[in-house]
Structures are given as C-alpha cells and as structure tokens.
Amino acid sequence: MSDSAQAATSGYRSPGVRMLSYFGRVNYNYQDKYMATAILRADASSKLIKENRWKYFPSASLGWNVTNEDFFDVYPISYLKLRFGWGQNGNIGSLSPFEYASVIQAGAVDSYYTDQGTLVGAAPVATSNPNLVWETVQQTNFGIDARFFNDALSLTTDLYWKKTIDLITTMSIPEYIGNVKPAANEGDVMNRGIEMELRYKGKAFGINYDIAAVAAYNHNEVTKLDGKLIGANLGTTGWITEAQQGQPIWYFYGYEALGIFDSFDEINAYVNEDGDLIQSSAIPGDVKFKDINGDGVIDENDKNMIGNPHPDWTLGLNVNLDYRGFDLKIFLQSSLGQDVYFGAYRTDLNNNNKPTFLYDNAWTPEDHSGEFPRYTVTDNNGNYSHNSLFVFDGSFVRLQNLELGYSFSAPLLDKLHISKLRLYVSGQNLFVITKYPGADPEVGNSNGGDFKSSVGVDRGLYPRARVVSFGVNLSI
C-alpha cells in the first residue's frame, strides 16, 4: 500500500443534514383590546446524537391596546399599545455534520522520509464532542407603540434581555493535541439594551417628508463560563480575542502600552522592587508595557482586556422628501463606542505591504512624537505583539445611501404613451466620518472558523466600495 498513488476508497459518506420540526400556535384577541399568542415548536437535527437531538422551544406574547379602552381619551395620543414577550429559539447552524463522532479519513501523501513513494494512511479528521446540545436563545422584552397628533408622530420603544444559553463555540484545547479544535457548548452570554424608533411625517411648504431616527443601546457580557476561551488567531503572533466570565465576549487580549521609551534613562528608570530592569531588551523607540501583576517581569501574565469590539450605540437616520416630482432619499448610519484592533500591520510577515501611516507616525531618533514604535525587522522587545497601541476608537458616521430622482408628470407621459418615467442618480458609501486610521472602521471578518471571534479585528480585508449609479425607471 505504501507504493499506491492514491488512497483506496472503502466507503462513501454523505454529509447531508436532516432536520424535523413541529410547530403550533394559538392566538387570542378580545375586541382588539387584549391580545395573546402562545407558540410551541419542537426541533430535531441530525447534527446531534440521538439523546440530544430533540429540543422544545416555547414562546408567548401579550398585548394591550390602551387606545380602544372607553376610559382612554388623551390628546395628543392617537394610539397606544403595550407589549410583553418571552420566548426561546434554537441555533445549531454553526455545527458541521458528524461533529459528535470521530470520523476517520484516509489519505495519500508523498513521503519525505523514505524512498517508498506515496504513503497511505488514515487519521481522525477532528476531535469529536458527543456532548453537544442545542444552543438556546431566550429573550424577554417590554415594548410600547405610540402615535401622536393624528399619527403624524410615532414612537416605538423596546427594552430587551437576550440570553444565549449553551453557546456553541470552539473549545479551547492544548495545541499539542494537534487536531482541529472541536465545537462545544461553553457558556452563557447576556445582551440587554433598548431599541427606539422615532418617526415624523407630514407636509410643509409643498414638501412631503417622512423622517425616521433609530437608536439602539446594547450591553454584552459573558455571564457563565468555566475558565476562559481562546478566540481568533492573528498570524504567528498568537490569539487576539478571548472570552471570560464578567467581560464582553471576544474582547481584545494583549499588553497594555504605557507609551514609548524616548531614552535609555527612561528604560533604566523602569525597574522592579529588586532594582532590575523590567524590560531589559528595550532600546529608545520601543514600547513601554504595563506590569499588570506587579511581579517585575513582562510576560503572558501581564496580558488582559485591551479593547471591546461591541458598540454601545447603533444609530440611523432615514429621510424621504418629495416636491413637485423631485424626490430625495438619505440614509445615515452610525456606530459608537466600539474598538477596532488594527491587525493588518502583520510584522511577522516582513514582505507584506504596510499602511503608510505606520511609517509616517513611527518613532524616530529625530522625532519622538510618533505614536507607533520604531520600525525594525528585529523586534526583541515585542513592540508588535498584541498591545493597546493598535486599539483604536472605531466609532463612525457613514452616509450609506443618497438618491435624487425626478418623476415626470402624467400630462407629458400621456403624450408619449408612457405610464411612468423616473430618472435618478444614487450613491452608496459616499463618505465616512471616523478617527480610525485604517481603510474602513466596519472591518470584515475572516473566512475561517474563527469568524465569530474575529469581530472588530482588522485583517486588512478589502473595504466596501463607493458606488455612484444613474438609472431610469420606465413603464409603458
């Protein structure tokens, strides 16, 4: 068999996935005042072992239309509804088939150690985990729907608590196992916040307008986790994200930078209790790292949370105007409070291109004002290890869409035997206001298995394009 050109196939494995679901719903409505809904669904998936395959997900909602009560007549309120909802649903989409079983795969590789040609063998594809169960998302929300001034002004508000139970993620296992890390149910995550939408529509000076503003605040926290989870890797410099109880999920993990050494005097003054240098390999232009645990040595024990990739606020503004055939649509979106880790520098790959701002703002002997350390091929001090110098405020305001159009009037179209004619010009992603120095503060995730834990990590992926287009809508 060692001389075979390829591995023999002794069987066939179909990775097909099967899912079976049952669904039931009961609705109740009394005089359009009191409303209730109860739902129960049962799901089963072939991605789990037989004992864990089935899961039941109940949900219920209540509504009270206060406006239809005889006692309620309050100007300027034209509509008022109170809502409550609680429910569960399941998630298993991130799992691949047969992750609960030890799958053996045969293969043939060229031998570098013998003269026997191709070697054929078999090995486990990945470490299995038969204890996998459904990830459950449980959400509770209170809501208010209100309209004022004969429905000209409307307000929708929701308070929510969204808890992810038995979160499916990649298990942290020692690297010496030498295999693909298995999926596992590793803890609980809580998201809680508020969502609001305020809309006003009407007409003034011949202009019809419809303006809507949305705002959402969210707080993310891991509420249950034994130990910690290792997240996404960034090249050969190790993992950049972690998850730990009491912290936001997949926070940035690294050293806290206190600045840059400008002289040997500063280096010699940074000593421990015994008078020894804390950073003995440093020279002027290197990063000064904080000794978090106070043991007088900079090592892995001094790494901690250096950034949060999750925004505090997500905002949006949608404006629609029309006047005598002209129409204007504007959509602005914003995200505030999130951090971005600039990982595109990749100093572990010396032949890679680097952004010019890394060079332009690097420390030099002639200019000590640079915010980045000296640029060098050798990095004995670990300047480009994961540290807070490369964590930036990722807040932004983006003009996502702008469109101007003109619709020709009916008398002219009738002469041309045309029912509708509209010309327009539109632009997408026209500008972004941000302090982030990278190409785009809305960084993309990697395509690998760590895409969930790569949120907020800028790997230098291609940014979204700016698009300007012209068009014609014609109906005959």
pLDDT tens column, 112-137 = 666 666 777 887 777 788 999 999 99
- In degrees, rounded to 5, the angle at the alpha carbon of residue 126 between the alpha carbons of residues 124 and 127 is 100
Helix, strand, or coil (residue 410): helix
* Region at 235 (left for phi over 0; alpha for psi -120 to 50; beta for the rest): left
Which residues, listed in sequence order, are joined to residue 203 by a DSSP beta bridge? 208
Instruction: State the alpha helices, DSSP H only, in 40-107.
Output: none
pLDDT band at 176 (very low <50, low <70, confident <90, very high): low
Contact call for residues 446 and 460 (beta carbons, < 8 A): no
Q: Rounded CA gap, 106 and 118, in Å?
A: 13
User: Does the pLDDT of residue 1 top 90, yes or no?
Assistant: no
Helix, strand, or coil (residue 388): helix
User: Does the pLDDT of residue 290 top 80, yes or no?
Assistant: yes
Q: Rounded CA gap, 128 and 16, in Å?
A: 18
Q: Other C-beta atoms within 10 Å of 303: how many?
A: 20
Q: In what order do the strands lie in the sheet with 457-458?
A: 391-393, 339-342, 457-458
What integer pLDDT is reported at residue 111 of this predicted model? 63
Q: Rounded CA gap, 332 and 100, in Å?
A: 45
Both tokens of 302, joined, read 């001094």
DSSP E strand boundaries for 312-453: 313-323, 326-336, 339-342, 391-393, 396-407, 420-434
Tell me the whole-structure pTM to 2 decimals. Answer: 0.86
At 64, the amino acid letter reads W
Q: Whole-number mean pLDDT of the chain?
A: 89
Q: Rounded CA gap, 250 and 81, in Å?
A: 38
What integer pLDDT is reported at residue 3 of this predicted model? 46
- Give the model confidence (pLDDT) of 11-62 as tens digits: 555 567 889 999 999 999 999 999 999 999 999 999 999 999 999 999 999 9
* Pairing, β 457-458 against β 339-342: parallel
What b/e sequence results for 133-149 when a residue is b if at least 16 CB atoms lie within 10 Å of its CB, and e otherwise?
Answer: bbbbbbbebebebbbbe
pLDDT band at 434 (very low <50, low <70, confident <90, very high): very high
Contact call for residues 61 and 84 (beta carbons, < 8 A): yes
pLDDT band at 7 (very low <50, low <70, confident <90, very high): very low
What integer pLDDT is reported at residue 13 of this predicted model? 55
Both tokens of 130, joined, read 């038969």
Residue identified by tokens 């990982």 is: 343
